Amino acid sequence: MKILSIVGARPNFMKVAPLHRVFTQAGSGIQSKIVHTGQHFDEKMSEIFFNQLSLPKPDYFLGVGHGSHSEVTARILLGFEPVLHKEQPDLVIVVGDVTSTLACALVTQRNGIKLAHVEAGLRSKDRSMPEEVNRILTDQISDYLFTTERSALNNLMQENIPEDKVHFVGNCMIDSLDFYSSRTKNIEVCYEFGVLPQKYILMTMHRPSNVDSKDGLMKIYKMLKGIEDHQTKVIFPMHPRTKAKLVEFDLLNLFCDQEQLIITDPLGYIEFITLMRYARLVLTDSGGVQEESTYLNIPCLTFRKSTERPITVEVGSNLLLDELDPSTAVSKICEILNGNIKKSGIPEFWDGKAAMRILEILKHSIKS
């Protein structure tokens, strides 16, 4: 069986890495190839991710680059179809919810090739988010839908997806976190950033609702100013989108002048997870960070109106704040810094074996 796995943005690497690893093990009967669309591409960071996750150089790199959703989708449609014609795979695997996910899914379905969606069924119920539309449409045309939590099963049932297509397997991103656990315990990484373990906050912010306006960025700034009295350092690996908006609104120097704020370029996977592991608290608007912090039992405040990963709130350490109101955020941050921490657990099937479950389902499918 020949499988093409698609990566397009950074979160995709952590989900494809465990799949490629189990696909290429002896006796799997699977030929695994990787297609990198280049939707989000930084040569230095891409190389770091492939090296750290032990992924081979992609078999194909489409180099679609940046642009509007329509432009990127069109480039992927045109770039991926010749790859399908050449390779004639038995199955294409798309992961997550980025533009590459839906675009490659559309090409695959139109060419009559089986399609699998890893991380299927997640729903925020907010269709103003491009990712939500990507998730819904990809699930509608997939032949295999591999889910990470039980809420996804309910969502797919309500959308009339045939039950025999849906498989609850767990979370491939947690597979990576578990597999590389020993490499993300190097406490020296904290010292390299001038912080002590459990004495700093890790923050990521990149959602349009939070960073695409001057008002949103100023709310983040006021939140950070509001916790200055705690003298707690905040490490902020800055997403290119966020940096571009800070420059556009002439706010970058204002952020850089904050003494407790440590701004860095985007980090490699190992460095980022290490910093998360030893953080006192995580502030984010990212989907994947909600999952990783839950597994590591690190308190997390998520600045979103809704989350497509409700399990992280139900059993995990994640707290959803539906609006980035500085005073509310400061109050919650101070509560956590003062020791008021929500008890959490690890969700069902988040055990490092999701990719192996997917392999077994596909092998059974081949035999039948």
Which phi and psi angles does 325 have, rounded to 5°?
Answer: -90, 115
Q: Kindly name the residue from 206, 230, 239, 364 that is annotated as catalytic.
A: 206
Alpha carbon 340 to its chain's center: 27
286's tokens: 């990212």
Whose structure tokens read 């960073």?
Answer: 211
319's tokens: 């707290």
d(CA 314, CA 312) in angstroms, rounded, equals 6
Element (H, E) at 100: helix 99-110
Q: What is the pLDDT of residue 295?
A: 96
Q: What is the pLDDT of residue 367?
A: 60
> Whose CA is closest to 52, among 40, 44, 60?
44
Q: Give the strand order in the sheet containing 318-321.
A: 261-264, 233-237, 200-203, 281-284, 300-303, 318-321
Q: What is the pLDDT of residue 366?
A: 67
Angle between helix axes 43-52 and 269-277 (nearest 10 degrees) is 70
Whose structure tokens read 């449409």?
Answer: 137
| Strand 2-7 with 31-36, pairing | parallel
Which phi and psi angles does 297 have, rounded to 5°?
Answer: 60, 45
Whose structure tokens read 């799997």?
Answer: 28
Question: Residue ranges of the domains in the chain?
Answer: 2-170+353-367, 182-337
Q: What is the pTM of this model?
A: 0.94
Encode the chain (368 residues) as per-residue pLDDT tens digits: 999 999 998 889 999 999 999 999 978 889 999 999 998 766 666 677 778 888 888 999 999 988 888 999 999 999 999 999 999 999 999 999 999 999 999 999 999 999 999 999 999 999 989 999 999 999 999 999 999 999 999 999 999 999 999 999 999 999 999 999 999 999 999 999 999 999 999 999 999 999 999 999 999 999 999 999 888 999 999 998 999 999 999 999 999 999 999 999 999 999 999 999 999 999 999 999 999 999 999 999 999 999 999 999 999 889 999 888 999 999 999 999 998 887 789 999 999 999 999 999 999 886 65
d(CA 18, CA 26) in angstroms, rounded, equals 15
Domain formed by 2-170+353-367, architecture = 3-Layer(aba) Sandwich (3.40)
d(CA 247, CA 13) in angstroms, rounded, equals 29
**Please, are residues 138 and 114 in contact by the beta-carbon 8 Å criterion?**
no
Domain formed by 182-337, architecture = 3-Layer(aba) Sandwich (3.40)
**Please, are residues 146 and 110 in contact by the beta-carbon 8 Å criterion?**
no
Q: What is the pLDDT of residue 151?
A: 97
Which phi and psi angles does 367 have, rounded to 5°?
Answer: -65, -35
Whose structure tokens read 């479950």?
Answer: 357
CB neighbour list of residue 201: distance below 8 Å, 6 or more residues apart = 227, 232, 233, 234, 235, 279, 280, 281, 282, 283, 333
Angle at 92 between CA 310 and CA 66, to 5 degrees: 75
340's tokens: 């008021």
Which phi and psi angles does 310 have, rounded to 5°?
Answer: -65, -20
Q: What is the pLDDT of residue 133?
A: 97
To the query of whether residue 117 is one of the catalytic residues in this protein, the response is no
Q: What is the pLDDT of residue 368?
A: 56
In sequence order, the β-bridge partners of residue 166 are 145
Radius of gyration for the alpha carbons in the chain, expressed in angstroms and rounded: 20
